[in-house]
Amino acid sequence: MQEVTIIIPNYNGKSLLENCFRTLENQSYKDFKILVVDNGSTDGSTDIKSDVLDVEWIALNENLGFCGAVNLAVQKTGTPYVILLNNDTETDKYFVEWLLRGIKKSDHIFSCGAQMIDYKNHEILDNAGDLYTAMGWAVARGKGRPCKDYETSKRVFSCCAGAAIYRMDIMRKIGGLDEKHFAYLEDVDLGYRARIAGFENWYIPEAKVYHVGSATTGTRYNKKKVFLAARNTIFVIYKNMPVLQLVLNVPFIFIGMLIKTLFFVRKGFGEDYCKGILEGICDCKKCWKVKFHMKNLSNYFKIQLELWCNLVRII
């Protein structure tokens, strides 16, 4: 029985996907299958074949977003682990092997994220796990810094779903990706829920991928991306913070929103950011909220300390 399924959501990324497949063909660990969910592409993506890889396609007629595509694929897998992988990545030869090694170290580990490296400059990091702060900001740990400074495995707040492995039995307990997010911050929300339940997320630097970044959306900042990220920021806060924790963080969250508003006004996306925040506030109750349990109180306490510590780190 195969242990792991690699799930790759795709939308009009034919050339990217061909390159991704090419590097997956050279993995040291071979016993995996690939499940590609195509979100209604019109560029011939579904014509891609591989004589080496075990590839299955789910071709959709509409764009369900990253979350919808992943959830559909997860429902069709029977492996104990799944790896979520962006189509705009090249994988190192030992990528799958090291992610499996990492997650098998303990039954308390929910996810392990790869060292995501800048595609154009292999000396620079793109992501070494995610930090989450009391301001409601999710920050890519190590982004723009030298890879050599992040060569130690470390527990992180959450893993970037662009290149990470997840334990399926835990995912069934805490739920999959929230499709209300569509895309962006869904991985932080997932990692947050795992932390509330007492599980861990780890960064595994030996598992390396080279990431183009924003290949589907085209740019680092655009109207839709800014809007969705702003809206989903509210969703993550509402869903995962009980009332007391929310009260503790409201002053920081307000300051964080003010800073982001000024930042995006300068970038020309101030209106999109504010619209996202407003829609998040109006629609947050449509998300499913994590139910508070006293048995998780110590986990909430640890999370809150981490939110404050991470705030100090980014400052």
Q: Which pLDDT band, with edges at 50, 70 and 90, does 9 fall under?
A: very high
Pairwise pLDDT comparison (215 vs 96), residue with the higher score: 96
Nearest Cα to Cα of residue 172 among 245, 71, 247, 246: 71
Cβ-contact 90, 20 below 8 angstroms? yes
pLDDT grade for 95, boundaries at 50, 70 and 90? very high
Strand-pairing partners, residue 146, are 124
308, two tokens: 């404050």
Please give the pLDDT value at position 215.
Answer: 46
In this predicted structure, the answer to whether residue 118 has a pLDDT above a threshold of 90 is yes
pTM equals 0.95
Helices (H) and strands (E) in the chain, counts: 9, 12
Per residue in 211-237, pLDDT tens? 997 544 456 789 999 999 999 999 999
Distance CA 158, CA 83 (A): 15
Question: Is pLDDT above 90 for 57?
Answer: yes
Of 143, 138, 140, the C-alpha closest to 181 is: 138
**What pLDDT does residue 221 have?**
82
Going by pLDDT thresholds of 50, 70 and 90, the confidence category of residue 168 is: very high
DSSP annotation of 288: P
Residue 94, pLDDT > 70, answer yes
Q: Report how far apart, in Å, the C-alpha atoms of 184 and of each of 10, 205, 229, 230, 255 are.
A: 15, 23, 6, 9, 21
37 strand-pairing partners = 9, 58
For the residues 158-187, what does the mean pLDDT come to? 95
Q: Which of the following CATH numbers is that of domain 4-211: 3.90.550.10, 3.40.630.30, 3.40.30.10, 3.30.2130.10?
A: 3.90.550.10
Assess whether pLDDT exceeds 50 at residue 124.
yes
Residue 315's pLDDT band (boundaries 50, 70, 90)? confident
Q: What is the dihedral of CA 57, 61, 66, 69, to 10 degrees?
A: -50
Averaged over 253-282, what is the pLDDT? Answer: 96
Q: Where are the domains of the chain?
A: 4-211, 223-314
User: Would you say residue 266 has pLDDT above 90?
Assistant: yes
- 61 with 35: CB under 8 angstroms? no
Report d(CA 220, CA 88) in Å as an integer: 14
> Taking CA 277 as the corner, what is the angle to CA 276 and CA 280, rounded to the nearest 5 degrees?
85
Contact 36, 58 (CB under 8 A): yes
Q: What is the pLDDT of residues 183-219, one digit of tens each?
A: 899 999 999 999 999 999 999 999 999 999 754 445 6
Question: Mean pLDDT in the chain?
Answer: 94
